[in-house]
Amino acid sequence: MLPLIPIALFEVRISKSKLFTALACSLTWIFSIISYYLYMAVQFAFIGVSTRPELHISSLGEHPYFWSNWKSLFWKDIVGNIVEWSGVALLGGFIIGVFISIIYIYLGKFFKSRKPRDENL
């Protein structure tokens, strides 16, 4: 959630919109979830994981259930978790974006109204 703060602050400075800030935070969180699970697939296929050696690309001709294991991993672990966590990302990003934009907008108004005025004018 911490990386959303600079994104939200940038968006609220530019657009001054709570909705656009919330959307930016939600999309950022969803894209980070997608990139995490795609990295996990690359790690299984090319880097290798000691607990799942049958998923490494070098097992393609050796392991008889290579493609069925990948099908199961893809649909259950990768796609399933992306769908599951996207709901959390959408709601959480929206809440964080609205919260940060409200704080930024109202603190900006508060500090503008408290500027010292020149009494000679």
The predicted-structure confidence for 20-46, as pLDDT tens digits, reads as follows 999 999 999 999 999 999 999 999 999
Quote the percentage of the chain above a pLDDT of 90. Answer: 73
| Structural domain spans, the chain | 14-113
Spell out the SS3 assignment of the chain.
CCCHHHHHHHHHHHHCCHHHHHHHHHHHHHHHHHHHHHHHHHHHHHHCCCCCHHHCHHHCCCCCCHHHHHHHHHHHHHHHHHHHHHHHHHHHHHHHHHHHHHHHHHHHHHHHHCCCCCCCC
Place of tokens 């939200």: 8
Report if pTM > 0.85.
no
